[in-house]
Amino acid sequence: MDQISVATATDQPALIETLAQAFQTDPALSWILPDPAHRARALRGLFRTLVPADMRAGVALRASGDEAAALWRAPGQAHGGTLEFLRTVVPLIATFGTALPRGLKVQSGIDAHRPAGRFWYLHYVGVRTAHQGKGHGGRIIRAQTAVADTEGLPCWLETATPANVPLYERLGFVTQVEWDVAGGGPHFWGMMRPTAA
């Protein structure tokens, strides 16, 4: 069975590849970047920006064989500050190009529906294509929800993938809000996992 560990800077290339593979068919990113070949390139650029940003704001977890990866933002860090914006805005413009307006619509909806308060924020979690459906995603999520339980803190996530909703429910998440991205975008679920306490 794969072992879950906290990723370090040297793990970043593997994390980027795992998440880029995992999100190739994501409904939100498919709407933002409709062309599959462009999406594959752009996802690697996206995660080259997001992985180090999320590691600074929280913790990245990886499975020992790089089957799965998860980016968690620490309590109080769900919304990036001005410094993070300045670090990421130029790379993200380069990554999305003309798709940037759609990307901003998705991000605006996420920001508008994310709750206030202190919680661990599961920003991204993914499993490499060849390893999906084998329980890797559940294991890597449980590794951090166990930490949240010891801290007495809830966890929050959003998903635009209908099939993921029952998976997250089995892990203790409960749908709090649903919304559609303006302009014909995807449907989202916002889900909270209450503290075990």
Query: In DSSP terms, which residues pair with 190 in a beta bridge?
Result: 158, 177
Q: Does residue 1 register a pLDDT over 60?
A: no
pLDDT digits (tens, 9 = 90+) for 133-161: 666 788 999 999 999 999 999 999 999 99
DSSP characters over 112-180 = HHSPSS--EEEEEEEE-GGGTTSSHHHHHHHHHHHHHHHHT--EEEEE--TTHHHHHHHTT-EEEEEEE
> Tokens standing for 71?
């980016």
**Burial class, 58, CB count within 10 angstroms (exposed 0-12 / middle 13-18 / buried 19+):** buried
pLDDT digits (tens, 9 = 90+) for 41-70: 999 988 998 999 999 999 999 998 888 999
pLDDT at position 44, please? 92
Query: If you ran DSSP here, which 8-state letter would residue 33 be given?
Result: S
Domain count, the chain: 1
CATH number at residue 120: 3.40.630.30
Domain that holds residue 37: 4-193
Q: Map tokens 């190739």 to a residue.
A: 24
